[in-house]
Amino acid sequence: MRRRQFNTVMAPVVAIVLFLVSPVQAQDGHAQHPSQVTVSGEGVISTAPDMATVQFAVVERADNPETARENNASASANALNAVRAMGVEEMDIQMQNLQINPMREYDPDRRTYNETGWEATRNLTVTIRNLDELPDLIALIVTNGANRMNSIQYGLDERGDLELEVLRLAVLRAKAKAETMATALEKEIGGIVTLNEHGVSVPRPVMRLEASFDMASAKGAPEPDAYASGQIEIRTSVTAVYFLK
């Protein structure tokens, strides 16, 4: 009988304790895990390029390597001097190492390769910061020694402010998406939990010029309209986490 009385007395006490503790635990759990929303945002700006990098080569062939080297050195010097005379700064001119290779022709009767001479090649890169001068630069290079055009790569010389603006647009886009989702849930967004940027992308359009130009004239060079640069897209994205309230 005494044991039964003990159980009867303790039961209400336990119930009261559980009743008092449970709401507190529920409130703590809600505080530790507030509602959140995760969104992404992308910013994009299209703009015209303001610079171009021209890659070309001087190729000379001769019966022996020394003559090929000398002819290439003379033609390369003519091309570089013409570029300098146009006002291009030295930091915008790059000249790669000279490559001299034997030329071989396959003999199907003997099934062997016969040496037919030597080829000296030097690649050069010129950066021009006034695109209006690009057609003149190409014509000048061609008439002063270059006989192989490789590519024209367009870019942006000053892009710092554009990168900041595209980042701002990405953040605003993410916030707008968070607000839309919160409104659909009949809530509002609160403070920011995390905000991460995923880098800025600035692709550089490349125009491939698979052509060999006559060293003595610029007739082989494309017309000025052929150098249309188009637009460059600067883009970035962010991921944001907001509290919901």
Q: What CATH number did the domain enclosing 122 receive?
A: 3.30.70.2970
Residue 57 falls inside a structural domain: yes
- Report whether 40 contacts 237 (CB < 8 A): yes
The domain of 107 spans: 50-156+205-227
Residue 222 falls inside a structural domain: yes
**Average pLDDT of the residues of the chain:** 83
Q: In the predicted model, is pLDDT for residue 31 greater than 70?
A: no
Q: Which own/partner pairs from 216-225 qualify as long-range (CB within 8 Å, at least 24 positions apart)?
A: 216/143, 217/142, 217/143, 218/138, 218/139, 218/142, 218/143, 220/142, 221/135, 221/138, 221/139, 221/142, 221/149, 222/138, 223/135, 224/135
What is the percentage of the chain residues whose pLDDT exceeds 70? 77
Residue 26 falls inside a structural domain: no
Say how far apart CA 208 and CA 63 lie, in whole Å: 31
> Residue 229: what pLDDT?
75
Say how far apart CA 3 and CA 6 lie, in whole Å: 5
Q: What does the DSSP 8-state code read for residue 223?
A: P
Window from 109-118, 186-195, 215-224 with minimum mean pLDDT: 215-224
Report the number of distinct structural domains present in the chain: 1
- Report whether 149 contacts 138 (CB < 8 A): yes
pTM above 0.75, yes or no: no
Mean pLDDT of 227-244: 91
Q: In the predicted model, is pLDDT for residue 224 greater than 60?
A: no
